[in-house]
Each structure stands twice: as structure tokens, then as C-alpha cells.
Amino acid sequence: MIFTTFWFLVFMFGFLGLYYLAGYFAVKIRLRMLLIAVASVAFYHHFTGDAGILLIVTLGCLTYFAGRIKNSILINLVIFCVALSLVFYKYTLFIFSSLAELFPALSSIPASEWSPVVAPLAISFFVFEFIHYLVDVKDGNKPISSPLEFLIFASFFPTLVAGPIKRFEHFIPSLKHGVANAKLISLDTQVGFLRVIVGFCKKFVSDMLTLYVAGTVPIFASYALIDRWLIFAAIAFKIYLDFSAYSDMAIGFSRMMGVKIQENFNWPYLARNIKEFWRRWHISLSSWIRDYLYIKMGGNRVSPLRHGFNLILVFVICGLWHGAAWNYVLWGAYHGVGLVFHQYFETFILNLKGKSFVLDFKQRNRKFSSFLGAINWGVSWVITMVFVWAGWLLFFYPVDQSISMFKALFHV
């Protein structure tokens, strides 16, 4: 994890020292903007090298100038180029290796001839931010006029590696407020520092769970039933704690600079259905998928069959966004199918609640209805958690191993 490296801690607190010191100069706003820009470029270059810098600068320049020109055809072309760069760097090897399994003749071609060596760091995050920017500008939002502000939006180092995925309409005003008002002794600094500490604590617990899971999963079936369920829960909590730790640290470091970044997790393991889970889990990604894929494909305004297909498709894309492998595709499809079933079940329940005999029963048996409501809450939560946590097995392990582990939870 980059945020826990010695290099980053020295870098971050050295940067914050200069950032707070700059607040005593008359030109503090400009000076702090330059500090953030230089620090962001230095941070990214340190971890990705010249090749990574070249890509983000090239795509950033294309995005900035397309937004300034505001020509729909040009914006569409740049969106295509930005998306294509993600496909090329992250999915070329996956696509060709999958094709090689279908067409063995392709396997004779060395992978180095048609595949990049490695995807640049954080490409999934900055590509999604560039696409969001271009789509929103095309839809009528005012573009970022300052090249310096756009550079910071594109490369802001606390969020660059693992999000949250920023929206420029919220980020730029918050950035301006931060560079104008940040102080060493302030509520923002205190809250931000505490948030960073929470992130470090989460990461520590996550690492302990990772060691526990690594030692127990290979002999999962040999454990007693209760221990299997504990391992099952450990897998679920290690990914939540690990991912939310990144977000906590990113939000905390940003807050220490006076910049407020949107929340990314809202107690997702309290969700009572799969739809609510995705409103609480990786909020910046799920809202991006909703706004720039799901709604653009028709949302809930299309036929039920088309709606179900769209849900599954956007979650397959969500799965692929996490990684270029078939288990991520299956994990995304799994959640898409779950959302489709939830949608149909929710419609059925809403129709049922409107029936006269149901309303009459609730009026006559209010206490019993309240009791049933509490039972429904608990059962809904258990079903949702088993569904979500079972999905993490698909996320982490091969399909046959995932199925075998899930069966073992029920002594099957």
C-alpha cells in the first residue's frame, strides 16, 4: 500500500509543512496551487516513471483542450481515445489470452509483440475522471478554464491511486476553499488527521485478516463449520477494511489540506438488500456507473427485459474495471443478476403491499405487523450479507474453488 510506505510518509508530511508555511505568504493561493501540482506530478512519477507520466499528460491535455473547445464531435472522439487507452493498457493481454484459448494458433505469437508490459498506475481512476469531465462539459457544465486547476484535478495525489473518483464540479470549489483557508491549527487538520489514523488502523486489521485468510483458505474444508463461517466473514471484512482504509487516508490527507472529498463507503455491511449495498459500497464508482453508463443506456425508462440486460452489462463492466480476469467478469455478472432479481422482487412486494387485504391485515394486527417488520429486517440483512460475501469468493478465487468453499459453509 503506497500510503503506508516510508517514502510517502516523509513526502506527505514534508509537503504539508510547506503547504502550511505557504499560508503565511501574500500569494498563498497561487503558491499552494503550485505546491499541490508539483507534489502530485512528483508523486506519480516516483511510482510510475516516465511512461506513466507521458500517458496521463497526453490524455489530460486532450481532455482539457476538448473541454475548452466544447465541440461535441471532438469531445466524443477524445472520450473514445481515453477509453481506448484503458482498454489497450489494461485489457489487451486479457483479450488476446482469451482469444488464444479459442484459437490455439494465436498462442504461438509472443505476448510482448501485442501487449503492453504493464498498465500505468491508477489508469482506471483517471480515465473515469476524464470521461466524467468530458461528458459533463458536453452536457452543458462549465469547463475548467485554468490549466493549473485542471492539472490538479487530473493528478491530485491523495485520490489518484485508489480514489474516491472525483467530480470536478465538487472538487474545484473545494480545492479553492482549501488553498485559501487551510491552517495548521484548524478543525479540518484535526478531523483529517484523525481520519488518517482511522485508515491506518483499518489497514492494520485488514493485514492481520489477510494473514489469517491466507493460512486458512487452502485447508478451508478441514475446519469445523463455525470456523468456516469465521473465515468467510474474515474474507469479507478484509476487503472492506483494506479498500475503505485507502479512502479514509485519501479523504483525511485531503481534509488536512482543507479540501473535502466525497465519502466512498457508508457502512455497506448494514445494507438490507443488494440495491442498498451498492448505494453504500464504493460510492464514487457505483454513482459513476449509474450516471455515465446505466442512465445513458436508458436507466429504468426502457422495457423490463432491456432494463435487466443493461443492469447485468454495466456490472460486468464494473467487474472488469476491478481487474482483467474472468473471475471479475463473473463477479460483476453475479451482482448484475442479483440486482435484476431484487428489482423484480421489489416490484412484486410493492404491488402486494397495495392490495386491500394486506392493508386490512396491517390495520387489524399492528403489533404483529411490527414484529413481522423486525423479522423482515433481520432476514433481509442476513440474505444480503450472504449474497455479497459469497460474491467475494468469486472476486478472489477461481470459480470451482469459490463454489466448493460456498458449499462447505452448509456442509454440502
Is the alpha carbon torsion for 197, 120, 281, 254 positive or negative? positive
Determine contact, residues 202/241, Cβ cutoff 8 Å.
yes
Per the structure block, which three cell numbers stand in for 243? 479498500
Helix-helix angle 168-181:147-155, to 10 degrees: 100
Q: What is the dihedral of CA 234, 235, 240, 245, to 10 degrees?
A: 80
Per the structure block, which three cell numbers stand in for 63? 481532455
Determine contact, residues 130/154, Cβ cutoff 8 Å.
yes
Catalytic residue status for 411:
no
CA distance 155 to 408: 45
* 70 dihedral zone (left: phi>0; alpha: psi -120 to 50; beta): left
- Give the active site residue among 322, 335, 342, 411: 322
CA distance 26 to 23: 8
Nearest in space to 155 (alpha carbons), one of 175, 136, 140: 175
CA distance 179 to 36: 9
- Which positions are annotated as active-site residues? 322
